Chains A and B, each alone.
Chain A
Amino acid sequence: TQLLEQSPQFLSIQEGENLTVYCNSSSVFSSLQWYRQEPGEGPVLLVTVVTGGEVKKLKRLTFQFGDARKDSSLHITAAQPGDTGLYLCAEDYSGGYQKVTFGTGTKLQVIP
Chain B
Amino acid sequence: DTGVSQNPRHKITKRGQNVTFRCDPISEHNRLYWYRQTLGQGPEFLTYFQNEAQLEKSRLLSDRFSAERPKGSFSTLEIQRTEQGDSAMYLCASSPGQTRNTEAFFGQGTRLTVV
Contact = CB atoms under 8 A, between A and B. Distances in A.
B21 interface: no
Given A42-B4, A42-B109, A102-B43, A97 B48 contact: yes
Interface in A74-112: 86, 88, 90, 92-93, 95, 97-105, 107
Is the interface on chain A under 10, 10 to 19, 20 to 34, or 35 or more residues?
20 to 34
B106 interface: yes
Interface stretch (A11-19, A44-52, A60-68): A44-52
Contact of B40 (A42, A98, A107): A107
B33 A100 contact: yes
A75 B3 CA distance: 29
Interface residues of B, number: 27
Contacts of B102: 92, 98
Interface in B25-67: 31, 33, 35, 40-45, 48, 55-56
Contacts, number: 70
Name the prevailing secondary structure of the A interface residues: loop
B115 interface: no
Contacts of B45: 99-102
B98 to A, nearest CB: 8
A105 B93 contact: no
Interface of B: 4, 31, 33, 35, 40-45, 48, 55-56, 91, 93, 95, 98, 100-109
Interface of A: 4, 6, 30-31, 33, 40-45, 48, 50, 86, 88, 90, 92-93, 95, 97-105, 107
